[in-house]
Structure 1
Amino acid sequence: MSADQLLDALDPDQREVARALTGPVCVLAGAGTGKTRAITHRIAYGVRTGAYTPTAVLAVTFTARAAGEMRTRLRELDVVGVQARTFHAAALRQLSYFWPKVIGGAPSRILEHKAPVVAEAAARLGLGVDRLSVRDLSSEIEWAKVSLVAPGDYAVAAAAIDRPPPAGYDRTTVARLMEQYEQAKEGRNVIDFEDVLLYLGRILQERRDIAETVRSQYRHFVVDEYQDVSPLQQWLLDQWLGGRTELCVVGDPNQTIYSFTGATPHHLLTFSTTHPGATVVRLVRDYRSTPQVVDLANRMLSRTPAQRRREGGIELIAQRPAGPPVGFTAYGDDEAEAAGIAGRIRRLVAAGTPAREIAVLYRTNAQSAAFEQSLAEAGIGYLVRGGDRFFARREVRDAILLLRGAARARAEEPMVEAVRSVLSSSGWSPDPPSARGAVRERWEALQALVALADDLAAARGGTTLVDLVTELDERAAAQHAPTVDGVTLASLHAAKGLEWDAVFLAGLSEGLMPISLAETDAAVAEERRLLYVGVTRAREHLELSFARARNPGGRAGRKRTRFLDGIWPEEGSGRRRPGAVRGSVLTGEHDPALFEALREWRSRVAAETDKPAWTVLVDATLEAIAELKPASVSELSRVQGIGPAKIDRYGATVLAIVAAHR
């Protein structure tokens, strides 16, 4: 492709990105807006026009999958020589090259897992730790290092942001453990993944000759998913740049969901301040999702266009044809929700949607158990992404072994009480722990076993531990059938960066969304963004649901998430979409030209009033109008979503637009 042909393949906003060849450049790219296409075409356009030498470009992102996709796109554009890597891969390559010259000898071995060294550090301090505590402490050490918090500063820094210490330890103890961890690493002659970035950054900062070598090699930088950059990664990027401004960053503040790992949108949101005169481009055309999904995503953020602009966010504009309405279902209990979703999936597969193009997303990994069971019973293959299947998790396997032993020794004891007694020795308690991370995940998995025991006792009566173990064995066997073309089960965090034709967002009740651990305004805001990420994974079919009770016949005390206030249909309206006609059924075959004319009018009204477009009329209402083509106020009033106030305000204009297309 010629340089002009490269530009012809882009939409106007993407073309603006491609033409912005000199930095600094900030691309605010919403979900599904083609950001990878824009930045790879930018690199290719720079190479075609002679502005870039391919080997002088370093593009970094956060996952090997994303880096691989970028390399593939560049090859398809006949661009060879550009380095597209993760932060760690790029840093390790440079560190390995300069290590013999700066430090001497062979590079230290990279520590694959922190756990053994953390356990050694804990032993030096005489701390009693188990496997899950070690895992949580390892995560906390990683957070401190990527946040550039030294061991001596940890207690003060964590207290300043009210960050709870992991695994029930106090902050001073965690700080001492961090010091011992660094000493234990040194004794083993190993470095961890964070050290790779730290060592390279220090070398570039302290050795001018090496810094000049690297900076003469790489003159143009591209950073994808910039909203997830950590202070450590930003510091290394600053060393790479050395005060230069040939930098293009791409990100979406609405998709910042990893703050617990040290990621922060601060650098993205302050880019224009840090780099005065920077070119800022917004990608808002969503090519992934239907207007129905996009409208819900925009409404989810519940901010005005002016607020979004101030906060760096964007409002998506759907580019795909209209699709089916978003489904909203309140089930009686968790079992009914899992079975209902399995039934919906079965119908989608029968209608031609491949199982691999369907996903069930939830907030916590422990929620997967119910969906694994329901899909297995329905004969639908599935795979669990981002974690083990429920019965493959170590804490679950260990718990079942304990229950099996207890079934032999305590056969006469009432099952419900026996299960609680046995699992208490594995970390279960009646109330969830306040700790986050692996300790909380273990409790959730054990709580799922307790809940199953309660369900069996309520459904059958007279059940014993032997009956429970038999039930668990049968479920484990059913859920370990090999799957290839299966439905994806994933947590919302694990779904980031992926997309499917059909997405089911399950368990959307208070306590799970937002999670009960989200106790600050910032934490709740991140939970809202997490749900936004889930919504924007859907291309065509999107179903949202929650269960009013945990068990069949149980107290219906759950409430749906606050994030869907004003969006969830009124009680008793079932799955009817907002644009349904009172007393009638729509076919969905509306006049596309009229629909687009109505959308253009709505956009003008929204811009004039500085309000979100959906506050004028939602897409489903416009579709209903475009299908019915009302000729009078009386006919217009029959459309759900346009009441007396909106008829007074917009009725005459809407009827005039309809008349022009009748």
Structure 2
Amino acid sequence: MQVELPGASPFPTAPRDAEAVLDGLDPEQRAVATALQGPVCVLAGAGTGKTRAITHRIAYGVRSGVMQPQRVLAVTFTARAAGEMRGRLRQLGVEGVQARTFHAAALRQLQYFWPRVIGGDVPRLIERKVQLVAEAAGRCRLRLERTELRDLTGEIEWAKVTQTVPEDYPAAAVKAGRETPRDPAEIRQVYKVYEELKRDRGVIDFEDVLLLAVGVLDERPEVAEQVRSQYQHFVVDEYQDVSPLQQRLLDLWLGSRSSVCVVGDASQTIYSFTGATPDYLLGFRSRHPDAEVIKLVRDYRSSPQVVNLANGLLSQARGQAAQHRLELVSQRDPGPEPAYVEYPDEPAEAEGTAKRIRALLDSGVRASEVAVLFRVNAQSEVYEQALADQGIAYQLRGAERFFERPEVREAGMLLRGAARAGGGAVDPLLDEAPERLADQVRAVLSTRGFSPQPPSGSGAVRERWESLAALVRLAEDFETARHAAEQPANLAEYVAELDARAAAQHAPAVEGVTLASLHSAKGLEWDAVFLVGLTEGMMPITYAKTDEQVEEERRLLYVGVTRAREHLGLSWALARSPGGRASRNPSRFLDGLRPGSAARGGARGAGRAGAAGAAGAGREGRASRSRSPIKCRVCGRVLTEAVERKLRRCEECPSSLDEGLYERLRDWRSREARDQGLPAYCVFTDATLIAIAEQPPGSAAELGQISGVGRAKLDKYGDAVLSLCGGVGPTATPSERPEQGDISDLWDENGASEGSPEDSPEK
């Protein structure tokens, strides 16, 4: 049974007076609606009716005469959410309130004030910056693939919303622990040229809208005063997702006033990689000691069984956000218990999930009320096929259909060409055409950069690799099936199979099951949700190495759980392929929640597993317990953050960087990378060069103990680096080099050197 929020059905007519606006609100929602004097902080859990509460607050303020609608500015993060807010206010009889995104509000103000205080029109806004970033990269003599270009563009966006200028980008990226798609120095240069191109052409991007608005308000007091006289009441939805730049703009709008109501849930912070931070929500009371804090915990969306699982998931969380978690209380009738299902392999998991969905549809659940949620888009293909095999229509949200992805379409054309030519490409490692079908497919895809090992980068680079890897796995499965049937498996037949699969998925689907990543599911809900692929290495993802990154993965799973109203399935596979080694473990986040499991003890042990997947997590935990603590060489504090451990000092402690050595190391690295045709960070990252330049090693043993060097890099680059550190030639013996004191073991958290296959992140 679906339960409505109190008074959730739209008013047939607008409320007759202010008191009628409050009809149907629960006590906490009513407290929000009647708290008209700021500052107010609303901590609202998933499904608790936060949008309803804040729109009724605005309506009650206007209808009671406390607020004038044109003096209210409500900001949120998507145009859809802003439109929903305006629609609800109209139903409540309130017109004239400005409900906009941060960018839309800032652009509107720029368009009004720019001609008056700057002169002329606002610079033209470019809606997509990718082409200009590509041109900037070209001027820096960098050749970027489409996926790399998208990731580099994302880095520039992150830098701008965190108010990081090009010159400061490398240090900021290291401090934030970001997995950069290219060497930070290269990104810095592209970022710098990109900004120069925009200035030369008189155009701005979306981040510039906020930056320029901040600049005008900050430098022109008369403009700031006019804005503050216009808007006297502010409401900010999804406050846990604000970036430093958005908070700066909000502060300028407010001035010295405190008439602001913020709404958010720190347990739903899942976009920190874009610059979002819950710190402003969690620190609201410290900045506004007189703030009224109201908690919404009555969950009208999910059954008690789903809510209990969500609460249990967060009960094991750690960190600042976990200290402010909300214990939800379901307001719905009881439903079925969440189902935990273990499968032998991924195809079996997809097939089993599709059969369970078929049973739900046969019982009367609409396909549009069912969702399959996964961690990364590359997981979608096997579920697309499984649903198609069951005759179930589906729709992809937040990603292209698998066979419509550019890299898959390009791969298809290459494979067709190879099939017409009578065989596959020559394998560059074997220098001959392979015989097995899967090897032929690998050889063809290798002409476009595919390799058996996943890339060490994140985001689109890894997504592209996963798409191509899925084609290789499909070839392996196709070949196995054909051999079992005693039929030949050649490249032409495989291409025909690809075409048949692609054609089957082009059928129109008006009413379909939703396939979506967990990130793209934020803000949505369904009667039935299947959370799939919940294994170590995928949830949490492999590149979640720090405790905070692991905790964000837990919050992401929490968001997935709280999308379900009644039916919730959680599943994992022990192996990738049928007959494969069952080496995977279910996600640590399910420990103590699924039947027969116990909660995993130790915050540190729970915070490290990411890099090596299921089997590696145990080894990694044992290694970390036996490792001696690393202390700051300046103040003596035990270091816990990866960057601090690498540098052997707290970030706040003074640096002993030898800038001349650092520049020599960077110049040498650039030459090495150019000679080998590699990105510079594949030689050494900036963080490793900083660690070397802060405490120059005097021997190969000392250099090998610096995190990020590793045995292979020590053998390859050790003499050259020591020569730069000691001012002697690469062939000098250790006795000719200056000696240093012992340096503690500074291996990376997963026990591997930087750039190793274990560091294969996915975003």
Structure 1 residues 622-650: Cα deviation after superposition (integer angstroms, max 9, x where no partner): xxxxxxxxxxxxxxxxxxxxxxxxxxxxx
Q: CA deviation at 1:394?
A: 0.5
Which amino acid in 2 is paired with 1:416? Answer: A
- The yes-or-no answer on 1:290 pairing with 2:303 is yes
Counterparts of residues 560-599 of structure 1 (less than 5 Å)? 560-570=586-596
Match of 2:117 among 102, 123, 138: 102
* 1:490 Cα deviation from its structure 2 partner: 0.3
Cα distance in 2 for partners of 1:515, 1:481 equals 33
Q: Letter of the 1:496 partner, please give it.
A: K
Q: Cα deviations across residues 364-422 of structure 1 (Å, max 9, x unaligned)?
A: 00111111111112111111001111111101100111111111224274211111111
Paired position in structure 1 for 2:610: none
1:83-107 superposed Cα distances (whole Å, 9 cap, x missing partner): 1111111111111111212232222
Matches within 5 A, 1:125-524: 125-166=140-181, 169-303=182-316, 311-411=323-423, 413-461=435-483, 462-524=488-550
Residue correspondence of structure 1 range 25-64 to structure 2 within 5 A: 25-64=40-79
Q: 2:85 aligns with which of 50, 70, 89?
A: 70
C-alpha deviation, 1:7, in angstroms: 2.2
Partner residue of 1:82? 97
Deviation string, structure 1 residues 234-293 (Cα, Å, up to 9, x no partner): 011111111210100000000000000000001001000011111101100000000000
Q: What is the alpha-carbon distance in structure 1 between the residues aligned to residue 299 and residue 34 of structure 2? A: 21
CA distance in 2 between counterparts of 1:225 and 1:242 reads: 21
Given candidates 107, 128, 138, the residue that maps to 1:92 is 107
Residues of 2 paired with 1:216 and 1:523: CA distance?
A: 42
**Amino acid in structure 2 at the alignment position of 1:211:** A
Q: Contact 1:3–1:45 (CA<8 Å) still a contact in 2?
A: yes
Deviations 1:37-84 (A, max 9, x none): 100010011111111001110000001111111111111111111111
Structure 1: runs of 5 or more not aligned: 572-662
Deviating beyond 6 angstroms after TM superposition, the runs of 4 or more aligned structure 1 residues are 306-310
Pairwise CA distance, 1:188:
2.2
Amino acid paired to 1:15: R
- The alpha carbon displacement at 1:6 in A equals 2.2
- Backbone CA RMSD of aligned residues: 1.5
2 CA distance for matches of 1:54 and 1:47? 6
**Distance in 2, Cα, partners of 1:196 & 1:162:** 27
Task: Give, in whole Å, the separation in 1 of the partners of 2:72 and 2:404.
Answer: 43
Deviation at 1:303, TM superposition (A): 4.0
CA contact (8 A) 1:308 1:314 kept: no
1:529 aligned to 2:555? yes
Provide the C-alpha distance between the structure 1 equivalents of 2:348 and 2:205, rounded to a whole number of angstroms. Answer: 46
Separation of aligned partners in 2, 1:471 and 1:103: 62
TM-score of the aligned structures, taking structure 1 as reference length: 0.84
Say if 1:307 and 1:474 are closer, same or farther in 2 by CA, change over 3 A: closer
Aligned AA (2:248)? W
SS at match of 1:494: helix
The one-character-per-residue Cα deviations of 1:573-599 (angstroms, maximum 9, x if unpaired) are xxxxxxxxxxxxxxxxxxxxxxxxxxx
Q: Distance in 2 between the 1:65 and 1:321 partners?
A: 30
Matched residues in 2 for 1:182 and 1:451: separation?
42
1:309 Cα deviation after fit: 8.9
Asked if the contact 1:6–1:45 (Cα under 8 Å) also holds between the matched residues in 2, the reply is yes
User: What is the aligned partner in structure 2 of residue 630 from structure 1?
Assistant: none
1:427–1:443 CA contact under 8 A, matched in 2? no
CA distance 1:53–1:118, shift in 2 (3 Å): same
Q: 2:297·2:327 contact (CA, 8 Å) conserved in 1?
A: yes
Structure 1 residue 427: Cα displacement: 3.1
Aligned-partner residue type, residue 367 of structure 2: A
Distance 1:287 1:208 in 2: 46
Tell me if the contact between 2:123 and 2:203 (Cα under 8 Å) persists in the aligned partners.
yes
The C-alpha deviation readout for 1:434-468, integer Å capped at 9, x for no partner, is 11111011011111111111111222224111121
Alignment partners' CA distance in 2, 1:73 and 1:344: 37
* One-letter amino acid of the counterpart of residue 549, structure 2: A
Q: Give SS of 2:22's match.
A: helix
For residue 310 of structure 1, report the CA deviation from its aligned partner. 7.4
Structure 2 counterpart SS, 1:59: strand
**Cα distance, 1:308 vs. partner?**
8.4
SS in 2 for 1:541: strand
Letter in 1 for 2:540: P
Work out whether residues 228 and 254 of structure 2, in 8 Å CA contact, stay in contact via their aligned partners in 1.
yes
Alignment-mate amino acid for residue 31 of structure 2: E
SS at match of 1:135: helix
In structure 2, C-alpha distance between the alignment counterparts of 1:553 and 1:310, rounded to whole Å = 40
Q: Distance in 2 between matches of 1:308 and 1:235?
A: 22
The DSSP-based 3-state class of the residue aligned with 1:165 is coil
Q: 1:143 and 1:372 mapped to 2: Cα distance?
A: 32
Superposition deviation, residue 192 in structure 1: 0.3
Distance 1:432 1:42, change over 3 A: same
Q: How far, CA to CA, are the matches of 1:210 and 1:470 in structure 2? A: 65
Higher normalized contact order (CA 8 Å, seq sep 6+, divided by chain length): 1
CA–CA distance in structure 2, aligned partners of residues 135 and 338 of structure 1: 30
> What is the CA distance between 1:307 and its match in structure 2?
8.5
CA contact (8 A) 2:267 2:322 kept: no
- Compute the displacement of 1:425 (Å): 2.3
CA–CA distance in structure 2, aligned partners of residues 184 and 309 of structure 1: 40
Determine the structure 1 residue equivalent to 2:33. Answer: 18
The one-letter code matched in structure 2 to 1:509 is T
Shift of 1:472: 0.7
Q: SS at the partner of 1:504?
A: strand
Distance 2:159 2:447 in 1: 32
Q: Please, what TM-score do these two structures have when normalized by structure 2?
A: 0.73
What SS does the aligned partner of 1:301 have?
helix
Task: Give, in whole Å, the separation in 1 of the partners of 2:569 and 2:73.
Answer: 40
Larger deviation, residues 443-452 vs 1-10:
1-10
Q: SS state of the match for residue 341, structure 2?
A: strand
Q: 1:561: how far off?
A: 0.4
Range with greater deviation from structure 2 (306-315 or 28-37): 306-315
Specify the code of the residue in structure 2 equivalent to 1:561. Answer: S
